[in-house]
Amino acid sequence: MSFPRKTGSPNPMSIKANDVDLFHSASNIALMQLLEQIDILFDTYANEMTNLIEASGIEELCSDLKVGADDVRMLMLAWKMKAKKQGFITQDEWRRGLKALEANSLEKLQRALPALEREVMRPSNFKDFYAFAFRYSLTEERQKTLDIGSICLLLKIVLGSQFRPQVDSFTQYLQMQKEYKVLTFDQWMGFYQFCNEISFPDLNNYDDQLAWPLVLDSFVEWIRQKNN
């Protein structure tokens, strides 16, 4: 573990060698205290045997944070932690996330959520978050696709606030059609691009001669047929 050096230079005239040590060790102590508190918080939710926060722990965390389990903010938190597997939080992941948020208590964590939201919604971050959401939802080792049901839920959570009409329409289509039982990562990302680039609901600038995933071609065809 490495601690970032605190910036801010003390007055060079008044510093003596031992003062520097004292100063650094003071900031070290503060830092160590922060980490300790983060670890203590971890322990309140973790399973002692596995040293992981598991489903029940997560449920408790959600209720303590007064946030629904399906709330997008939990997903954002997972993203911030760079969590690998849905339903589990390792100690490293916990430390990573809470340190970045500078939250060593439940209240601080709760208060950090709105800022986290804003951070994620920044265009530079959101695409990464969107991609993360898919990968995070994969449960098996070699799994590369997500079933339609999970896709629909995930879309609502992740894009529901920004692109409600598109998400509603697409999920309706996905549930109605029979051809696709799962979606791939490429198709998932394709939908995000679709929301960003294609004017909805007129779809005037959609060109199926381009490399849009076939599922989106079919989706657009379905909408156009409905409108006629």
Partner 1 sequence: MTMNERKTIDLEQGWEFMQKGITKLKNILEGLPEPQFSSEDYMMLYTTIYNMCTQKPPHDYSQQLYDKYRESFEEYITTTVLPSLREKHDEFMLRELVKRWSNHKVMVRWLSRFFHYLDRYFIARRSLPALNEVGLTCFRDLVYQELYSKVRDAVISLIDQEREGEQIDRALLKNVLDIFVEIGMGQMEQYENDFEAAMLKDTAAYYSRKASNWILEDSCPDYMLKAEECLKREKDRVSHYLHSSSEPKLLEKVQNELLSVFANQLLEKEHSGCHALLRDDKVDDLSRMYRLFSKIPRGLEPVSNIFKQHVTAEGTALVKQAEDAASNKKADKRDVVGLQEQVFVRKVIELHDKYLAYVNDCFNNHTLFHKALKEAFEVFCNKGVAGSSSAELLATFCDNILKKGGSEKLSDEAIEETLEKVVKLLAYISDKDLFAEFYRKKLARRLLFDKSANDDHERSILTKLKQQCGGQFTSKMEGMVTDLTLARENQTHFEEYLSNNPNANPGIDLTVTVLTTGFWPSYKSFDLNLPAEMVKCVEVFREFYQTKTKHRKLTWIYSLGTCNINGKFEPKTMELIVTTYQASALLLFNASDRLSYSEIMTQLNLTDDDVVRLLHSLSCAKYKILNKEPNTKTISPTDYFEFNSKFTDKMRRIKIPLPPVDEKKKVIEDVDKDRRYAIDASIVRIMKSRKVLGHQQLVMECVEQLGRMFKPDFKAIKKRIEDLITRDYLERDKDNPNTFRYLA
**Which residues sit at the interface with partner 1, rule CB under 8 A?**
144-145, 184-187, 189-190, 193, 209-211, 213-214, 217
Please say which residue, 31 or 182, places its beta carbon nearer to partner 1.
Answer: 182
Q: For partner 1, which is the closer residue by CB, 104 or 187?
A: 187
State which residue, 85 or 144, has the beta carbon closest to partner 1: 144
Looking at the DSSP bridge assignments, the partners of residue 53 are: 89
Smallest separation (angstroms) from partner 1 to the CB of 132: 16
Q: How far is the CB of 180 from partner 1 (least distance, A)?
A: 11
Output the smallest distance, CB 75 to partner 1, in A.
23
The distance of closest approach from Cβ of residue 130 to partner 1 in the complex, given in angstroms and rounded to an integer, is 14
- Cβ-based nearer residue to partner 1, 171 or 187: 187
Quote the least distance from Cβ 43 to partner 1, whole Å. Answer: 40
Query: Backbone dihedral region of 82: left (phi > 0), alpha (psi from -120 to 50 degrees) or beta?
Result: left
Closer to partner 1 by Cβ: residue 24 or 144: 144
